[in-house]
Amino acid sequence: MYFLPYKNYSKINVMIRVIIWVFINIITCTIYCGCSNVDHDDDNTQNCENISPNNFKGNDTERIQSAINATEGTTNKVVIPRFNSNGSEIWLIDKAILLPSNISIILDNCTLQLSDKCRDNMFRSDNVGIGIKNPEWNYNINITGIGNVVLKGAKNPRATGDSGKKLSLNPDADIKKTGDWRYTYGTDASKTNEKQTGDWRNIMILMAYVNGFTFKNISIENSHAWAVSHERVINAEISDIEFYNPGSIAVSNGTSQLVRNKDGINLRHGCKDFQISNISGTTGDDFIALSTLGLDSEIREGGSLYSTMVTTREWLGIEDDTEQIFISNINCKTPTRAVAIRANSVAGIHNVYIKGVVYNGSNNCILIGGQGYGQASLPGKINNIHAQNITGNGKSLILIESAISDCSFINGVYTGSGGKIIIYNIDESETSNIRPPILS
């Protein structure tokens, strides 16, 4: 801070000196703090630590990425404000914003939306992508919302769905015509030299090989497939997230189009030590899914566009087990499941603690096992799944489809008409040490 010494200057001289003083302060703050706007904390001290994309040139994606690159190794924090210097209140994303280690993205009452020309994630850890077969670990990535923050899919997306879904300009008509249910909307349908199925680029937020990830206080609308997905991520906190992610979207021409794989939160291979809390809203598919799928697929390499995983689908051993997952305070509407746990013959999923779920749907509040995703889970591979204080309708409160062990389900309130709180789709004798739900 520079101070103007008191002297008996004329009014004109004082005015000139004040202007010079203000100019010097602004230049000094810009040079040393990397920002052009002077903010003040509650104690009225200057705070020039926040780098904004409004300080950079280019389109919205380029300016956000430039801000991230500029702050790396200094403050490691970027603030994306509500007002875009181009005069709009929306930040349009043309390709994935890549996040390095030790970065904090502060979303301050802003709206980010994928553009109609984007066929990519909105945010992705920068250690993974096309052709990256053996990624290094990233550390400490934080995306935090302040106030009202909304992340939106495109008005007219080029592609949607996972790697097993085929693009169509009219999925409902193609399903009716062919009898094949694997169609999903995308304007790239039938275009020469454009991939005709979905892949991992349709996931809105994609983190892989990250140790330390937080994602808080954000609303997500109409992602192009899964909203938030993790592959081999450890030490993560996901909280205060609201989804509006139904199975169809109103595109820019006014028609409603079918979009597949509209999950909320997904945990894939090797996710450990997660806190997932205060999650609400609507999804067209599983609200929260812990899944190890497709190990028998021919696509094994990381970085392939013929997969819905950006990392390898190979099973690397017990390091790829999913464990120590804490899920609490979930309120959801979905046609499938509130929490779905799916594994196969080699995958281990254990020590999952679920507390406080309200489910409104047509299937089951909790699925444990899952069939049709490769060879069945072996006895005991899924163990120590503990759920309490769950309420829901549908066909049953809990569906068990694998030989699980050492699990408990207590204080369940079933409001559906199916007549059973728990259903076994396998011989119940194949399970062991299961404490059944207590109707409260």
Q: Name, in order, each residue with C-beta under 8 angstroms of 429's C-beta and a sequence gap of 6 or more.
A: none
- What pLDDT is recorded for position 370? 80
* Dist. CA 71–CA 48, nearest whole Å: 12
* CB 417, CB 386: distance < 8 Å: no
- What pLDDT is recorded for position 418? 75
- What pLDDT is recorded for position 24? 36
- What are the helix (H) ranges across 180-285? none
- What pLDDT is recorded for position 45? 27
Give the dihedral of Cα atoms 339, 232, 80, 34; nearest 10 deg. Answer: 160
| 377 closest CA partner among 357, 354, 353, 401 | 401
pLDDT (tens place) for every residue of the chain, 440 residues total:
333 333 343 444 434 443 443 343 343 334 333 443 333 333 322 344 679 999 999 999 999 999 999 999 899 999 999 999 999 999 999 999 999 999 999 999 999 999 999 999 999 999 999 999 999 999 999 999 999 999 999 999 999 999 999 999 999 999 999 999 999 999 999 999 999 999 999 999 999 999 999 999 999 999 999 999 999 999 999 999 999 999 999 998 889 999 999 999 999 999 999 999 999 999 999 999 999 876 666 667 899 999 999 999 888 899 999 999 999 999 999 999 999 999 888 889 999 999 999 999 999 999 999 876 677 888 889 999 999 999 999 999 999 999 999 999 999 999 998 778 899 999 999 999 998 876 55
Buried b (16+ CB within 10 A) or exposed e, 371-404: eebbebbeebbbbbbebbbbbbbbbbbbbbbbbb
Pairing mode, strands 77-80 and 103-108: parallel
- What pLDDT is recorded for position 6? 34
Assigned token pair, 77:
């924090």
CATH 2.160.20.10 positions along the chain are 50-335
pTM to 2 decimals? Answer: 0.88
- What pLDDT is recorded for position 3? 35
| 184 closest CA partner among 200, 193, 195, 197 | 197
Topology classification of domain 50-335 = Pectate Lyase C-like (2.160.20)
